[in-house]
Amino acid sequence: MAASISRVSGSEVSEDPLDSYSATVIRVAEAVTQHVAALEMTGNGRNGRLRVGAGSAVLFTSDGYLLTNAHVVGGAQSGHAVFADGTSTAVDVVGADPLSDLAVVHGRAPTAAPAEMGDAESLRVGQLVIAVGNPLGLAGSVTAGVVSGLGRSIPVWSGRSRRVIEDVIQTDAALNPGSSGGALADARGRIVGINTAVAGVGLGLAVPINATSRRIIASLLKDGRVRRAYLGLVNTPIQLQPSAVVRTGRREGLLVVEVLPGSPAERAGLRAGDILLKVGQMYVSNAESLQKLLFAEAIGEPLELAVLRDGSDLRLVAVPAEMTDNQ
């Protein structure tokens, strides 16, 4: 498409909207790239050190703590981070939380200034986002796209175990395996998500930076782990039908897409197609609202579930188990 040109005071000014789009992406890329490192995790093998994981990481504190994905660090305890300007540091794993797919590592040497962290709660579908990472070993790679979905939950395989990562951001910004752990930024250069490619190449997903993930990060920094309650269901937000709105007084709920076999959700009687309205005393309308209820204090405690099933109101009781490495 040809650019539209107008003359102002004898000079030519481009009115091509792509110029504004490009300027935004360039500005964010320049601001964010310096805070994103290529990360290589290593372990001991029969013939010495070997690589056990690789991806990206985002520097989020001034004293060298970096945020990445749990599946990037795997079972490693140490590794190496290299920034876009060529500076590098050895890193040690502080902690990892497979359920959120977040992990924290700490650099041993001085690093760059930290990135500005944002809040994914401000995101809207259709909003511009920019992904910065280290896909396939190409440091400082940048892709741009829009938010195409919010509040998703996705089932993933971790070894032989199946997990559900809650409340992910879906974007059409292209991601590749090396992008995992990299930054998803808004148009102001604030980090609103940590990219994860565990669901497959070409599907852009990111763990949001919000109140729940900040709580997870704080637990990793303090204790090196997050004790989590586990229900075992895959869900997505849904708008209720008008008749259900009138009957329940609620406009939104969580559609149960899948119930994992042998899970507390299955034992409680939840089924795919159910709509979850309330857990305990709290209404739920997105993955984060459910996730907030599933920290350590919920383990082993009965939770009443208010459910819509085929137009009928049900009350079920689930007893969350503690999340283990085998779940």
Whether residue 1 has pLDDT greater than 50: no
DSSP letters for 252-277: EEEEEEEE-TTSHHHHHT--TT-EEE
Q: Active site residue: 101, 167, 186, 274, which one?
A: 101
Contact 205/168 with Cβ under 8 angstroms? Answer: yes
Active site (annotated) includes residue 71: yes
DSSP letters for 10-27: TEEEE--HHHHHHHHHHH
| 288 vs 21, more confident | 21
226-251: average pLDDT? 89
Residue 211: left (phi > 0), alpha (psi -120 to 50), or beta?
A: alpha
Which two tokens mark 327? 């779940």
178-184: average pLDDT? 90
Whether residue 103 has pLDDT greater than 70: yes
Confidence of residue 234 (pLDDT cuts 50, 70, 90): confident
Whether residue 168 has pLDDT greater than 70: yes
E strand residue ranges, 159-274: 161-171, 183-185, 191-196, 204-208, 229-230, 233-239, 252-259
Q: Active site residue: 158, 179, 180, 289, which one?
A: 180
Q: What is the pLDDT of residue 156?
A: 65
Amino acid at 54: A
Q: What is the pLDDT of residue 165?
A: 74
| 140 vs 317, more confident | 317
E strand residue ranges, 32-174: 36-45, 48-59, 65-68, 78-83, 88-97, 102-107, 128-133, 141-158, 161-171
Q: How far apart are CA 156 and CA 199, in angstroms?
A: 6
CB count in 10 Å sphere of residue 86: 7
Q: Residue written as tokens 């992990």?
A: 103
Amino acid at 20: S
Q: Look over the chain and give the mean of its residue pLDDT values, rounded to a whole number.
A: 85
Domains of the chain: 33-107 (2.40.10.10), 120-223 (2.40.10.10), 229-322 (2.30.42.10)
Q: What is the pLDDT of residue 178?
A: 79
Contact 106/65 with Cβ under 8 angstroms? Answer: yes
Whether residue 137 has pLDDT greater than 70: no
Give the helix ranges, DSSP H, for 85-195. none
Q: What is the pLDDT of residue 314?
A: 94
- Pairing relation of β-strands 275-279 and 161-171? unpaired
96-109: average pLDDT? 90
Burial of 253 (0-12, 13-18, 19+ CB in 10 A): buried
Residue 219: left (phi > 0), alpha (psi -120 to 50), or beta?
A: alpha
Q: What is the pLDDT of residue 43?
A: 80
Q: Averaging pLDDT over each range in 150-164, 192-206, 266-280, 284-298, which range is the top one?
A: 266-280
Q: What is the pLDDT of residue 8?
A: 43
Confidence of residue 14 (pLDDT cuts 50, 70, 90): low
Confidence of residue 16 (pLDDT cuts 50, 70, 90): low
* DSSP H or E stretch at residue 86: none
50-76 pLDDT, tens digit each:
777 889 999 999 999 999 999 899 889
Q: Active site residue: 56, 71, 167, 219, which one?
A: 71
Q: How far apart are CA 51 and CA 38, in angstroms?
A: 13
Active site (annotated) includes residue 180: yes
Q: How far apart are CA 197 and CA 151, in angstroms?
A: 17
Q: How far apart are CA 29 and CA 232, in angstroms?
A: 37
291: which residues sit within 8 A by CB, 6+ positions away? Answer: 166, 167, 212
Q: What is the pLDDT of residue 7?
A: 42
Active site (annotated) includes residue 106: no
Least-confidence region, from 25-39, 151-165, 215-229? 151-165
163-173: average pLDDT? 81
* Count of H-run helices and E-run strands, the chain: 6, 22
